[in-house]
Structure 1
Amino acid sequence: MGLPINGRQELGVHHYFNVVDFRTKYALMQENTSGSKPISLSLKADLGIVTQQNRQPIKDDLSTLTSAIISKKINEQIRLQLSPMYAYFSSVSVENRNELFSIGMGSQINFSERFALMAEYYPIIGESNPNTNNAFSLGLNIQTGGHVFQLFFASTRWHLEQYAMAQNREQFWAGDFRFGFNVNRIFGL
């Protein structure tokens, strides 16, 4: 996966790169059934680093994302989520923005204990980069006991939110989507 380095083009040729990211998430509050904590609230941070040689100092290859994740269980079948997000790129081309804002919106509808449909949408708030579309995805969670398999169709090639906010060229409803999957496992210590 890739896009022009920091959005730059040289002589009409796109230079693609890979990004390694380091992320963390910290749960501040977990929703409970008594009502004393009506929502779940987490903070998330991500640092992306371009990994291949591109004749730039590393300080120009950095991107960051900070986000709050606010979720609410409406009932046993429906969960909603809002995620205000701030992305920063250390170096961009003249037409692109260093700072981007979005309010991610998500939902999960449980069909049974094993199957759930998910949807996510990341609209840019304020100015966006030229030719950038808001990202959208649909997914299916399948729980098999200890693992959760996620199958999804997404209108972006990026797994990092800051790049989906900055460089998403695809439009989901026009048939521009990719298929992907994750396997999640939670280990208790």
Structure 2
Amino acid sequence: MPGSPATTGRSLAQTKDHVGLPIADILATISQEGVNRVFVDYLQRTTPESQYLVGDAHDADCAIVACSGAWLERCGYGEAEVIGRGCRHLQGPETCARAVAAMGEAMGRDGQCATSLINYHADGSKFQNDFILVPLTSRDSTAARYYMSVHASEPALDWSLAPPVPAQSPEARMRSFSETLSPSQATRSPPAGLRVPV
């Protein structure tokens, strides 16, 4: 089974925690205001089911600096195969290039993105990857310091902590999309040959 302790070489206890840069170090460098408050709260309340990545916004490939053990378990990769590299290794023949381009465009403007695309486990099997991607702005500027993606909203993202947004805005759509990020949906596999429309 992809991501099982047998395939990753990690014990179950090891796969249920945060790896990479400590959460306290991430929180020490980002603003505690605006939308950041939603993700500060999420990181402070993570559970063994939380699935997230944190990437370095200053790195050309947004190298992963931290992630949850549950995300490693889901994808079947070990910590050494993930920390320090981008997410290109998750892409494959059916990964939607338009969705990848939309993520790049959002990151180019320090923006947010909610998307769904086909990615691949370490064993080559595919899965539907639904997630939101948000900049975590620096404590001393409005620029992104990290990018965080949330793949399973466990615990639920508390959008009441963020400033209100117009109902039809991209931010409102992202907040609505985040309601679908449950652990059960995050692990489903798509039917063979499914291509994700963007």
> TM-score if structure 2 supplies the norm length?
0.29
Q: More strand per residue: 1 or 2?
A: 1
Q: Greater CA radius of gyration, 1 or 2?
A: 1
Going by fraction, where is helix more abundant, 1 or 2?
Answer: 2
